[in-house]
Amino acid sequence: MGLDLNKVYNRSTKGSILFVVILLGLPLVFSTNNYLLSTLIMIGFYTIVSTGLTLLMGYAGQISLGQAAFYGIGAYTSAYFTTHFGLSPWLAMMVGAVIAAMVAFIIGIPAFRLREHYLALATLGFGVIVFTFFKEWKEITGGLNGFFGIPPISLFGITIQTDFQFYYLVWIFALIGILFARNIVQSRIGRALLSIHGSEVAANSLGVNITKYKLQMFMISAIYAAVAGSLYAHYVTFINPQLFEMITSIYFLIMVVIGGTGNVWGGLIGAAVYVCLGELLKEIVPLFIPNASGEFEIVFFGILLVIILIYMPNGLSHSISKIVKRVLPAWRRKKRVNACFGK
Amino acid sequence: MDVWSQFVQLLFSGLTVGSIYALVALGFVITYSITGILNLAQGDFAMLGALICISFVNSGFPFILSILLSVVLVMIIGVLFERSAIHPARHSSTATLIIITIGVAFVFRGIAIFVWGTQPYALRPFTGNDSLQIFGAVIQTQNIWAIGISLISLAVLYFFFNKTYMGKAVTACVVNPFAARLMGIQPRKMSFGAIVISAGLGALAGIIIAPISGASYDMGVMIGLKAFIAAVIGGLTNAPAAIVGAFIIGILEAFTEGYFSSGYKDAISFGLLLLVLFFMPNGIFAKASGKRV
């Protein structure tokens, strides 16, 4: 590519640090606004899931329409093990992640022999089957009535109950997730994955074990989703199957597509746009259409999705980074010129 | 009710649902064969057909005219859909096209909520609420209508594809688009036609099922998905096999519901989908070879 990777890494590191500082400072400014905090927390959950899915879709080039199943597996495992066995939420979260990874492994072996439409349908089918079990396996999940009384999570003896505390918890997880994704992408695995995305045949002939990498990414994306689901369960303390329906998988997909799959920040951007737009539409739509129900916003997501895919097939993160790349050097040049003239 | 009459009853309800799936699955196979697009908005054509038809009937149009008008209207919607969403993105990747059709499905559902709201509607049965006694089982005449109309439509399509010039041109595009183009057939026009036919078939399916299970903005989701399963069972490009697949799914669901539990109905159909995908990815009637890595 003719790029000095070191330079790219350093420059984006500066930006990332600035971003992290803003992120950690936000609740200090808005600490009294619970609505805003809970919105930011939702963005946090979705960022974790969509970062995992970005790895799978953007880097391994594989579609998954069943991600809500892993989100649900994380949530229900946490709920079940903490309430029935008194397991610590942290341990339960780990159990959920392991179960999700195992399920991904089992379903992934046959599924990743399939491609394109067939893979999309297989993951979709998997999602519907898992959802049915959430709904029907009443002894474990409580069925349609849902699962009550999930204990909150605690850290260093502090029970994390307020939105202010939870904000930091979920965003630390989200940042670790992004950092981990970034390391994967910049490692040997990342380059192998990109070669798979480019051409499976070429990658295979160069000795890249395609199936192994795809399967690994599927398991990693499942772990991301399960951890987010587990955190979510401890945040809301009540879950029901509808949260993990097929439509949720599609929402995750929408986030990844909006954000763009070519960039580890895509998941975060997609999640943020999705949640903010959803909240905005909840405010705006009733002004114009008084009898619109909550589900009306999907029409806007549908249109947005089609427009983005037709006109910005690489998603928002690609467009943003293009703008930054164009604006930043110009701005630097101007600063240098000004410095020469002693301004 | 004895065992035998219950069996017949379930068989009829399976055949009815199966015939609905068959119509939608056929539209899906036609679209997929010609355009290579897995149109996840296929089931929503059924929803639009049913709701539009109900609106026509409620505003005083004659019954037959309402059915015809709504099928034509859904076909026009299909045209708009092809021009605005599929055509501009025709060079995109498979995943992108799938997601675009999901987006379109959302738009259809949103429009349906906007126009008809979220409450379900009922369409009156085609010929009253009469029922027939067959082997001790009580069969609603609407079920007979549904199965009959589906079979007639399928027969007409068979005639169209195998006996008419236009139909043969479409078939040629399915078999080999490049050779078809050399023979002066325009695959792009055919892809247009494919989506219009699929939209019409979907609309018809929706209208037929509306008197039996009602119509609402979200009815298209499961009809569409079950039709995909049927098409996959048939191997995606094999129309007769997809129809057989549709009846298999319909009957399997009816018997699961009748003898086991309705909750697991979807899981069983999708479980069958996974089994077919994993072990016979070219459909249950195909020989080996095909799209596996």
Q: Which residues span the domain enclosing B69?
A: 1-277
Looking at residue A331, its pLDDT comes to: 64
Q: Which residue on chain A is closest to B107 by alpha carbon?
A: A299
Interface of B with A in 219-278 (CB under 8 A): 221, 225, 228-229, 232, 236, 261, 263-264, 266-267, 270-271, 273-274, 277-278
B290: confidence class by pLDDT, cuts 50, 70, 90: very low
Comparing A99 with A333, which gets the higher pLDDT?
A: A99
Q: Which residue on chain A is closest to B270 by alpha carbon?
A: A125
CA–CA distance, A211 with A337 (Å, rounded to integer): 52
Q: Which residue has the tokens 């880097």?
A: A59
Answer yes or no: is pLDDT of B47 > 90. yes
The answer to whether B280 faces chain A, any CB pair under 8 Å, is no
* A118 contacts B291? CB cut-off 8 A: yes
Contact A48, A222 (CB under 8 A): no
3-class DSSP assignment, residue A62: coil
CA–CA distance, B155 with A135 (Å, rounded to integer): 40
Q: Is residue B285 part of a domain?
A: no
First-to-final CA distance of chain B: 51
A221: confidence class by pLDDT, cuts 50, 70, 90: very high
Looking at residue A14, its pLDDT comes to: 67
CA–CA distance, B270 with B267 (Å, rounded to integer): 5
Contact A63, A57 (CB under 8 A): yes
Q: Is residue B290 part of a domain?
A: no
Residues near B111 by Cβ (< 8 Å), separated by ≥ 6?
A299
Looking at residue B155, its pLDDT comes to: 86
Q: Is residue B287 part of a domain?
A: no
Comparing A171 with B141, which gets the higher pLDDT?
A: A171
Looking at residue A71, its pLDDT comes to: 93
CA–CA distance, A96 with A74 (Å, rounded to integer): 5
How many residues would you count in chain B?
293
| HEC letters along chain B | CCHHHHHHHHHHHHHHHHHHHHHHHHHHHHHHHHHCCCCCCHHHHHHHHHHHHHHHHHCCCCHHHHHHHHHHHHHHHHHHHHHHHHHHHCCCCHHHHHHHHHHHHHHHHHHHHHHHCCCCECCCCCCCCCEEEECCEEEEHHHHHHHHHHHHHHHHHHHHHHHCHHHHHHHHHHHCHHHHHHCCCCHHHHHHHHHHHHHHHHHHHHHHHHHHHCECCCHHHHHHHHHHHHHHHHCCCCHHHHHHHHHHHHHHHHHHHHHCCHHHHHHHHHHHHHHHHHHCCCCCCCCCCCCCC
CA B290 to chain centre: 24
CA distances from A239 to A42, A126, A163, A235, B104 (A): 15, 20, 18, 10, 30
CA–CA distance, B68 with B49 (Å, rounded to integer): 10
Q: Is residue B288 part of a domain?
A: no
Looking at residue B203, its pLDDT comes to: 92
3-class DSSP assignment, residue A154: strand
Q: Is residue B105 part of a domain?
A: yes
Looking at residue A336, its pLDDT comes to: 64
B250: confidence class by pLDDT, cuts 50, 70, 90: very high
Q: Between B107, B264, B270, which is nearest A302 by CB?
A: B107
CA–CA distance, A193 with A208 (Å, rounded to integer): 9
Which of B9, B3, B5, B11 shows the shortest CA–CA distance to B248?
B11
Looking at residue A89, its pLDDT comes to: 83
CA–CA distance, B280 with B288 (Å, rounded to integer): 8
Answer yes or no: is pLDDT of B282 > 80. no
Interface test with B, best of A103, A114, A128 (most B CBs within 10 A): A128
Exposure letters B185-216 (e unless 16+ CB within 10 A, then b): bebeebbbbbbbbbbbbbbbbbbbbbbbeebb
ipTM for the predicted complex: 0.81
Q: Is residue B291 part of a domain?
A: no
Averaged confidence pLDDT in chain B: 83
CA–CA distance, B53 with B68 (Å, rounded to integer): 9
This prediction has a pTM of: 0.83
Q: Which stretches of chain A are assigned E, i.e. beta strand?
A: 154-155, 158-159
Answer yes or no: is pLDDT of B288 > 60. no
Looking at residue A338, its pLDDT comes to: 65
Answer yes or no: is pLDDT of A3 > 60. no
pLDDT, one tens digit per residue, over B195-219 is 888 899 999 999 988 888 888 888 8
Contact A239, A71 (CB under 8 A): no
The count of structural domains within chain B is 1
Q: Between A113, A125, A299, which is nearest B107 by CB?
A: A299
Looking at residue A340, its pLDDT comes to: 62
pLDDT, one tens digit per residue, over A274-332 is 888 888 877 777 777 666 555 667 777 778 778 877 787 777 877 777 777 777 666 66
Which CATH number fits the domain that encloses residue B230? Answer: 1.10.3470
* B281 contacts A114? CB cut-off 8 A: yes
Contact A73, A137 (CB under 8 A): no
Looking at residue A2, its pLDDT comes to: 42
Q: Is residue B177 part of a domain?
A: yes
Looking at residue B86, its pLDDT comes to: 78
Contact A262, A273 (CB under 8 A): no
* B278 contacts A111? CB cut-off 8 A: yes
3-class DSSP assignment, residue A299: helix
Answer yes or no: is pLDDT of B95 > 50. yes
Widest Cα–Cα separation across chain B: 62
pLDDT, one tens digit per residue, over A248-259 is 888 898 888 888
Q: Which residue has the tokens 């095909």?
A: B290
Using an 8 Å CB-CB cutoff, list chain B residues near A296. Answer: 110, 113-114
Q: Is residue B180 part of a domain?
A: yes
Using an 8 Å CB-CB cutoff, list chain B residues near A61. Answer: 95
Report how many Cβ contacts below 8 Å link chain A to chain B: 148
Answer yes or no: is pLDDT of A64 > 80. yes
Mean pLDDT, rounded, for B16-37 = 86
How many residues would you count in chain A?
343
Looking at residue A101, its pLDDT comes to: 92
